[in-house]
Copies of this chain bind each other. A is one copy, B any other.
Amino acid sequence: MPRFWTLASLRLVTAPASTPVPTLADIRAAAVRIAPLVHRTPVLTSTSLDVLCGARIFFKCENFQRTGSFKIRGASNAIMSLTDEQAACGVVTHSSGNHASAVACAARHRGVPSFIVVPENAPQAKIDTAAGFGGVISLCKPTLEARQEMVDDIQERTGAAMVHPYDNNDVIAGQGTAALELVEEITGLEIVSAPVSGGGLLSGTAIAATSLRPAIRVVGAEPVNADDAYRSIRAGSIQPLLHSNTIADGLRAALCPRTFDIIRSRVTNILTVDEETIIEAMKLIWRYLKIVVEPSGAVPLAMVLAHRERFAGRHVGLILTGGNLDLDKLPWQH
């Protein structure tokens, strides 16, 4: 399993108390802003999965989202929020996966170029997808330093605006629109869960869900093999990502101070799951919901299965984050 980014134990500081945080109003504004570019995704249920889980599960199907994942929500909100002057020179980001395609797609919609820094060990299929949306791909060595150097270099050369995958309030507000739709559509949800990687989706989800319904508990789902958020929340300070050897290839990033602070104040708990349960959950989703979901998207269901007693009898909303994967190599066939 490749590690896309070799993570040094950087960023052990928390954000200053003055850091502004997106609000429900920001998320509602994002929903209006991105509406021309994104799909309203369906919420699916399965009686068979409810029986297996001992709970009532509502799946927000972002695998059906434009570009195949929720990432278009945050990317398009950030890119549509730029002034004409800021957007004029295009946008730049770093990603080896769904955020890359999302930025390229949203930039094309805005009519500006996108520059995508991709680690040279990223899957070719994902690089091709971002390039297919018109992204200008730059390969770099798979280290944080090489990545930053290349981003800096592109910004210097082009003047492109940075669209960070999660350390960006507009991105967080955009990601929160998925939970906004879910919680407004399914009344009576008691728990909402999203996977946690860099924490952008979980932050937006937590702000949307707890602002709309203060009684809702928001739980992050994280692979035990990339459990920096789990350890950070328990330690009360950001802990480094020690390893990221997980099949959930979208969940190999680490929290930043901005997302750490939001999650610490808005998220009830983070629970971890092992690889075997992620694969089991993924296969159950394919079998019973008849939809294609990528490993990262199955992590919240895996969490419910692995911690069944915590969800017994509850109405639980899960964000199925995406459906992009190599159909020739399914994880249960390895």
Q: Which positions in A face B, CB cutoff 8 Å?
A: 42, 44, 63-64, 68, 283, 286-287, 290-293, 323, 327-328, 330, 332-333
A interface majority secondary structure: mixed
* Whole-angstrom CA separation of A292 from B283 in the bound complex: 11
Least CB separation from A283: chain B residue: B327
* Whole-angstrom CA separation of A333 from B44 in the bound complex: 29
Least CB separation from A282: chain B residue: B327
Q: Are A287 and B327 in contact (CB under 8 A)?
A: yes
Q: List 14 A-B contacts (CB under 8 A).
A: A42-B42, A44-B64, A63-B290, A64-B290, A283-B327, A286-B292, A290-B292, A290-B293, A290-B323, A291-B292, A292-B292, A327-B330, A327-B332, A328-B332
Tell me the minimal C-beta distance from A235 to chain B in angstroms: 37
Q: How many subunits of this chain does the assembly comprise? A: 2
Extra contacts, 18 of them, besides A63-B290, A286-B292, A286-B327 (Cβ < 8 A), are A42-B42, A44-B64, A64-B290, A283-B327, A287-B292, A287-B327, A290-B291, A290-B292, A290-B293, A290-B323, A291-B291, A291-B292, A292-B292, A327-B332, A328-B332, A328-B333, A330-B330, A333-B333
* Whole-angstrom CA separation of A332 from B326 in the bound complex: 12
From the candidates B42, B64, B290, B292, name the one contacting A68 in the complex (CB within 8 A): B290
The 4 closest A-B pairs by CB, nearest first: A290-B323, A290-B292, A63-B290, A286-B292
Q: What B residues does A292 contact at CB under 8 A?
A: 286-287, 290-292
Q: What B residues does A327 contact at CB under 8 A?
A: 283, 286-287, 330, 332
Least CB separation from A62: chain B residue: B290
Least CB separation from A65: chain B residue: B290
Tell me the minimal C-beta distance from A167 to chain B in angstroms: 28
* Whole-angstrom CA separation of A332 from B292 in the bound complex: 16
Q: What B residues does A44 contact at CB under 8 A?
A: 64
* Whole-angstrom CA separation of A148 from B143 in the bound complex: 68
Among the interface residues A63, A68, A287, which one has the most CB atoms of the partner chain B within 10 A?
A: A287
Q: What B residues does A328 contact at CB under 8 A?
A: 332-333
Q: What B residues does A287 contact at CB under 8 A?
A: 292, 327
* Whole-angstrom CA separation of A63 from B291 in the bound complex: 9
Q: What B residues does A63 contact at CB under 8 A?
A: 290
Tell me the minimal C-beta distance from A123 to chain B in angstroms: 14
Least CB separation from A61: chain B residue: B290
Tell me the minimal C-beta distance from A209 to chain B in angstroms: 24
Q: What B residues does A293 contact at CB under 8 A?
A: 290
Tell me the minimal C-beta distance from A47 to chain B in angstroms: 9
Least CB separation from A44: chain B residue: B64
* Whole-angstrom CA separation of A291 from B64 in the bound complex: 9
* Whole-angstrom CA separation of A64 from B61 in the bound complex: 14
Tell me the minimal C-beta distance from A38 to chain B in angstroms: 14
Among the interface residues A42, A290, A333, which one has the most CB atoms of the partner chain B within 10 A?
A: A290
